[in-house]
Protein backbone atom coordinates (compact mmCIF):
# COMPACT_ATOMS: atom_id res chain seq x y z
CA UNK A 1 0.00 0.00 0.00
CA UNK A 2 1.23 3.48 -0.89
CA UNK A 3 2.31 5.70 2.00
CA UNK A 4 0.12 8.79 2.50
CA UNK A 5 1.92 11.80 1.01
CA UNK A 6 0.86 15.29 2.20
CA UNK A 7 2.56 18.19 0.41
CA UNK A 8 3.01 21.89 1.18
CA UNK A 9 3.15 24.31 -1.76
CA UNK A 10 4.16 27.83 -0.62
CA UNK A 11 4.09 30.35 -3.46
CA UNK A 12 4.64 34.08 -3.67
CA UNK A 13 6.13 36.94 -5.60
CA UNK A 14 9.67 38.23 -4.97
CA UNK A 15 8.52 41.87 -4.92
CA UNK A 16 6.79 41.45 -1.54
CA UNK A 17 8.48 42.07 1.85
CA UNK A 18 10.42 38.78 1.85
CA UNK A 19 11.23 38.83 5.57
CA UNK A 20 7.49 38.70 6.34
CA UNK A 21 6.94 35.97 3.77
CA UNK A 22 9.86 33.95 5.20
CA UNK A 23 8.38 34.21 8.70
CA UNK A 24 5.05 32.87 7.39
CA UNK A 25 6.83 30.08 5.50
CA UNK A 26 8.81 29.01 8.59
CA UNK A 27 5.72 29.09 10.82
CA UNK A 28 3.70 27.09 8.29
CA UNK A 29 6.40 24.43 7.93
CA UNK A 30 6.61 24.08 11.72
CA UNK A 31 2.82 23.79 12.04
CA UNK A 32 2.44 21.25 9.23
CA UNK A 33 5.33 19.11 10.49
CA UNK A 34 3.74 19.16 13.99
CA UNK A 35 0.52 17.82 12.47
CA UNK A 36 2.22 15.13 10.36
CA UNK A 37 5.97 14.58 9.93
CA UNK A 38 5.30 13.09 6.49
CA UNK A 39 4.57 16.52 4.99
CA UNK A 40 6.87 17.18 2.06
CA UNK A 41 8.01 20.79 2.15
CA UNK A 42 10.35 22.67 -0.17
CA UNK A 43 13.69 23.99 1.10
CA UNK A 44 12.60 27.54 0.32
CA UNK A 45 9.59 29.59 -0.75
CA UNK A 46 8.57 29.08 -4.38
CA UNK A 47 8.86 32.59 -5.79
CA UNK A 48 9.07 31.85 -9.51
CA UNK A 49 7.60 29.39 -11.99
CA UNK A 50 10.87 27.52 -12.52
CA UNK A 51 11.15 26.71 -8.79
CA UNK A 52 7.47 25.75 -8.64
CA UNK A 53 7.74 23.45 -11.66
CA UNK A 54 10.91 21.80 -10.37
CA UNK A 55 9.28 21.13 -7.00
CA UNK A 56 6.02 19.84 -8.50
CA UNK A 57 7.92 17.47 -10.79
CA UNK A 58 9.14 15.57 -7.71
CA UNK A 59 5.71 15.01 -6.16
CA UNK A 60 2.82 12.55 -6.23
CA UNK A 61 0.69 14.03 -3.44
CA UNK A 62 -2.40 12.66 -1.73
CA UNK A 63 -3.08 15.99 -0.03
CA UNK A 64 -1.97 19.50 -0.99
CA UNK A 65 -1.77 22.51 1.30
CA UNK A 66 -1.38 25.52 -0.99
CA UNK A 67 -0.42 28.88 0.55
CA UNK A 68 0.08 32.24 -1.11
CA UNK A 69 2.70 33.84 1.14
CA UNK A 70 2.63 37.25 -0.52
CA UNK A 71 0.20 39.74 -1.99
CA UNK A 72 -0.38 39.68 -5.70
CA UNK A 73 0.20 43.11 -7.24
CA UNK A 74 -0.05 42.08 -10.86
CA UNK A 75 -3.58 43.28 -11.54
CA UNK A 76 -4.71 39.83 -12.70
CA UNK A 77 -6.24 39.10 -9.30
CA UNK A 78 -8.63 42.05 -9.37
CA UNK A 79 -12.30 41.49 -10.06
CA UNK A 80 -13.43 42.43 -13.58
Look at residues 7, 6, 12, 8 and name the one whose alpha carbon lies nearest to residue 45: 12
Higher-confidence position of 28 and 15 = 28
> To the nearest whole number, what is the mean pLDDT of the chain?
90
Question: 45: burial class by Cβ within 10 Å (0-12, 13-18, 19+)?
Answer: buried
CA distance 27 to 19: 12
Task: Give domain limits for the chain.
Answer: 6-68
Under DSSP, is residue 74 helix (H, G, I), strand (E, B) or coil? coil
Higher-confidence position of 11 and 77 = 11
Amino acid sequence: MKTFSPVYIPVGVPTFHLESAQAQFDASVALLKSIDERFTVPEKMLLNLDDLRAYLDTLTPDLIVFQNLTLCCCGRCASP
